[in-house]
A and B are shown apart, each in its own frame.
Chain A
Amino acid sequence: MSRHIRSVVLAGLALLAGAGTAAADDTRVALVPGGPHPYFAAWEQAGKDAARDFKLAAADYKVPQKWELSTQNQLLESLVTQGYNAFLVFPGDPVGSVSTVAELADSGAPVIATAGCLKDPSEAQFCLGTDVGNSAYLGTKELLKAMAGKKRILHVTGFLVDPNTQLRIDAVEKAAKEDGAQVVQVIADIDAPEPAEEKINAYLAAHAADVDGIVSTAWVPSVVAANALRRIGDKRIQMVAIDHDEVVLKAIKDGFLHGTMLQNPYGQAYIGSHVVDRLRNGCTIKADAPWKTNALTSHFVDSGTVFVGADKVDTYVSAMQDITKNLLASFDATYLNCNS
């Protein structure tokens, strides 16, 4: 009898111990971009890796069918009902998404605004993303260095509904003004192949002689402009792009582009998944952590950016991985209060 009781007690203890460690495993993270876009492709793999490395129940990449706020809202509502209890969200609109995020938070889920920020005040824990203003600023400075004294810049950028676009427009303007250069034209709302191709081709066909440099702060225009410069065989116009599309990297190697500003989509999703899991397991945000401030929010964490020129094109992946590793290593200590 006593042997039976002992084995039952041992089994019970084992079960409790198992349940104790399994308690961290019921975090189901949903990674939700604003819509389909090549930038977020890295989130899918990052989610899978995070689920494996941090022992999460799930870290699933869920894409709204199109870049529309109503579609994203419906998807988020559905995900709550499906049992997801932690969210990394690229806001479909910096203010329009505040209501939805509040409802997510009401259901008990921690939410991190990722790769794009909500306008304060909001229920998001904080915003983890590229300091897009800084990135655009640095990119423009690099461009000006390559332009060697010439002054006229064309700025091509993304959707007007993207909260980051205006920040980028302002930053490029600032960088240009500091060096006495001028942004002769801003073409926005072209982060999709058809409008980008139409507008960039039309502009270059008519005004190629009126610009000395191009700065692109969105993925698709970077690709389209790189192709356009290659097609007209132009190496006089300098260009700095953004992100790491194959076309852009090849154009840097072949000399059509001066370089590109990398963002860190993989790191954002990977670190973000880890942090929401910690937040669900007893940690809280440190109010006095070294938060950065941008135009939208005062609780901002920079996920890192780096300029990649022809010399570093082949090793860009490891450059970003280093940044991610460093950020992850110090994150908990810097930004979280954890009792366990």
Chain B
Amino acid sequence: MHAEDSAAPPSQVGSPPATPRGASGRPRFWLTNEFGLIVLIAVFVTAFGLLTPGFLSPFNLFALGRTAAINVMIGLSMMVVIVTGGLNLAVGAIGVCGAMACGWLIQDAGLPWPLAILGGLAMGAALGFVNGWTIVRSGLHSFIITLASMSIFFGLMIFLSRGESYRELPSVFSSFGRLRVLDGTLSPLVLVAVAVAVLLVVLYRFTVAGREMLAAGAKPEAAALSGIRVDRVFIYCHMLSGLLAGIAALMLVARNGAALPSMAGQLGQDWLLPAFLGPVLGGTLLSGGRVSVVGTFLGAFLVTLLTSGLLLLQVGEFWVQAFLGLLLLLAVLMDMARRSFLARRRMV
């Protein structure tokens, strides 16, 4: 499996791939971004395991996995929009709207919970559609559209729900959130995240729709000329983003046992940093056309790992955010350095 998928096949002359390829056309694994992340994860797990008592305890691994699963979903939700070369600042707002819709369907409309979950996901996809349609029709940059829509979606949701939470959800939600498998070290939420990631890999590697998304994101004009309905593809990307945001929010509902409007912060902006950290660390380019699902997964996991380790080291809860910002900066700098290093070596 190629660690990075891109629209340009390796044999295309004149467009050097990001990683040097061996004879079989596969990228050398140890120079990829993903391998770097695996190494970092291994290093930090060892370091924290030695430095802090209890890092490798079943409870901590369980809690870590559960938080990481949610961060992975948030990162994936942003990643599918970054593929189009755009941004979705409204991931948090859409996610919360989806979760609150699910809560309303259960508590006020009396639907059984499986249907309500589908309803919540449908809400997420619908809001994503609104974003995508507006961006495509107006030709405006997705930054300003999703900046406005995050306000509008969140504000309307709060207004309609009067800021109240749905706290009478069936116990299946909180039971799922607290379930522990594999000798008490793993949360099923991790399995959900893995399943979604696998589906996304299949999408981008093996389906026409996925390849169209990559092509449209890389070079919209060229894609349009080769018959791809770029506008429609972009809308699908935004709908997918909304759907994934809804999944992330529902995972949070399972973790909390309640649908709270404040679950993603004011306007949903607390999700912005994890939404970008995952994909950027994972090597997904902001210019679009390239995606790394595995990288996003590993990146989000690494960030959660580091946060958890820092808390255990009693570094001071208040320095964690500064550290995450520094991490993001270092990640983009290192990625830039890695690409220019590889580009130079190809020239030589």
Of the listed stretches A18-26, A94-102, A256-264, chain B binds A94-102
| 10 A–B pairs (Cβ distance < 8 Å), ordered by A | A69-B256, A70-B263, A74-B307, A77-B59, A81-B54, A95-B165, A95-B256, A95-B258, A96-B258, A97-B256
B159 in the interface, Cβ–Cβ < 8 Å?
no
Are A98 and B174 in contact (CB-based, < 8 A)?
Answer: yes
Q: A68-B270, A81-B312 are known contacts. Are A93 and B256 too (CB-CB below 8 A)?
A: yes
Chain B residues, Cβ within 8 Å of A62: 317
Question: In the complex, what residues of A have CB within 8 A of residue B258's CB?
Answer: 93, 95-96
CB-CB under 8 A from B53, the residues of chain A are 83
Contacts of B67 in A (CB 8 A): 70, 74, 77
Contact A96 B257 (CB under 8 A): yes
What distance in Å separates the Cβ of A58 from its nearest Cβ neighbour in chain B? 12
Count chain B CB atoms within 10 A of each CB in A64, A73, A75 and give the residue with the most. Answer: A73
Interface membership of B260, Cβ < 8 A: yes
Please tell me the size bucket of the interface on A. Answer: 20 to 34
Q: How far is the CA of A81 from the CA of B63 in the complex (A)?
A: 10
Residue of A nearest to B259 (CB): A96
CB < 8 Å neighbour of A78 from B167, B178, B262, B311: B311
| B321 and A65 contacting across the interface, CB-CB below 8 Å | yes
Q: Do residues B260 and A69 form an inter-chain contact, with CB atoms below 8 A? A: yes
Alpha-carbon distance A107/B63, docked complex (angstroms): 13
A82 within 8 A of B: yes
Q: With contacts A77-B63, A95-B257, A103-B178 known, what are 11 further pairs, Cβ within 8 A?
A: A63-B317, A69-B262, A73-B255, A74-B308, A75-B311, A81-B63, A81-B312, A93-B258, A94-B167, A99-B177, A189-B163
CB distance from B154 to the nearest CB of A (A): 14
A interface, over-half SS: loop
- Residue A247 CB within 8 A of the other chain: no
A interface residue numbers (CB < 8 A to B) = 62-65, 68-70, 73-75, 77-78, 80-83, 93-99, 102-103, 107, 119, 160-161, 189
Most chain A CB within 10 A, of B258, B263, B312, is at: B258
User: CB-CB contacts of B290-319 with A at 8 A, as 1s and 0s?
Assistant: 000000000000000001100110100110
Give Cα A81–Cα B174 distance, bound, in whole angstroms.
21
What is B's interface to A at a CB cutoff of 8 Å? 52-55, 57, 59-60, 63, 67, 163-165, 167, 174, 177-178, 252, 255-258, 260, 262-263, 265, 270, 307-308, 311-312, 314, 317-318, 320-321
Shortest beta-carbon distance, B24 to chain A, in Å? 43
Closest partner residue, chain B, to A98 (CB atom): B257
B252 and chain A: residue at smallest CB distance: A70
Report the bound CA distance from A95 to B255 in whole Å.
11
Determine whether the beta carbon of A78 is less than 8 Å from that of B312.
Answer: yes
- Name which residue of chain B comes closest to A78, CB basis: B311
Q: Name A65's contact: one of B55, B164, B178, B320 (CB within 8 Å).
A: B320
Nearest CB to that of B173 among chain A residues?
A99
Asked if B54 and A83 make an inter-chain contact with CB atoms under 8 angstroms apart, the answer reads yes
Expressed in whole angstroms, the Cα–Cα distance for A62 and B311 within the complex equals 11
When the two chains form the complex, which single residue of B59, B163, B178, B307 contacts A160, counting CB atoms closer than 8 Å?
Answer: B163
Q: Specify which chain B residues have a CB less than 8 angstroms from the CB of A63 in the assembled complex.
A: 317
A93 to B164, CA, bound (A): 11
Are B257 and A99 in contact, CB atoms less than 8 angstroms apart? yes
With both chains docked as a complex, state the minimum distance between the C-beta of B275 and any C-beta of chain A, in angstroms: 14
- Contact partners of A98 in chain B: CB under 8 A: 174, 257
Complex contacts, A102 vs chain B, CB 8 Å: 178
Contacts of B265 in A (CB 8 A): 68
- List, in ascending order, chain A residues with CB within 8 A of B320's CB: 65
Q: Tell me how far the C-beta of A237 lies from the nearest C-beta in chain B, rounded to whole angstroms.
A: 27
Whether A119 lies near B260 (C-beta < 8 A) is no
When distances are taken between beta carbons in the complex, the residues of chain B under 8 Å from A68 are: 262, 265, 270
A98 to B260 alpha-carbon distance, docked (Å): 13
A138 vs B289: C-alpha distance when bound (angstroms) = 64
Q: Which of A75, A96, A99, A119 contacts B178 (CB 8 A)?
A: A99
User: A73 vs B54: C-alpha distance in the bound complex, in angstroms?
Assistant: 17
Query: Bound complex: CA of A63 vs CA of B311, how far in Å?
Result: 12
Most buried by A among B164, B174, B270, B311: B311
Of B54, B177, B263, B317, most buried by chain A (CB within 10 Å of CB) is B317
Q: Contacts A99-B178, A102-B178 hold; do A161 and B317 have CB atoms under 8 A apart? A: no
Contact B178 A64 (CB under 8 A): no
**Contact with B317, one of A70, A73, A75, A94 (Cβ below 8 angstroms):** A75
Residues in B with CB closer than 8 Å to A69 are 256, 260, 262-263
Contacts of B52 in A (CB 8 A): 81-82
A63, A74, A97: most-surrounded residue (chain B CB, <10 A):
A74
Q: How far is the CB of A99 from chain B (nearest CB, A)?
A: 5
Q: How long is the Cα–Cα vector from A80 to B312 in the complex, in angstroms?
A: 10
Distance A59 CA – B248 CA, assembled complex (angstroms): 35
B316 to chain A, nearest CB (A): 10
A80 to B178, CA, bound (A): 16
Query: Closest 7 interchain pairs by CB?
Result: A95-B167, A77-B63, A96-B256, A78-B311, A81-B54, A81-B60, A95-B258
Contact between chains at A77 and B60 (CB < 8 Å): yes
Chain A's closest residue to B321 (CB) is A65
A94 to B263, CA, bound (A): 14
Give the shortest distance, in Å, between A90 (CB) and chain B (any CB).
15
Q: Are B308 and A78 in contact (CB under 8 A)?
A: yes
Give the shortest distance, in Å, between B71 (CB) and chain A (any CB).
10
Q: Which residues of B contact A103 (CB under 8 A)?
A: 59, 178
Residues in B with CB closer than 8 Å to A83 are 53-54
Give the CA-CA distance A103 to B270 in the complex, in Å.
25
A167 → B minimal CB distance (Å): 14
Q: Which of B60, B164, B165, B317 contacts A64 (CB 8 A)?
A: B317
Set of chain B residues within 8 Å of A77, measured between Cβ atoms: 59-60, 63, 67
Chain A residues, CB < 8 A from B311: 74-75, 78
By the criterion CB–CB under 8 Å, are B270 and A161 in contact?
no
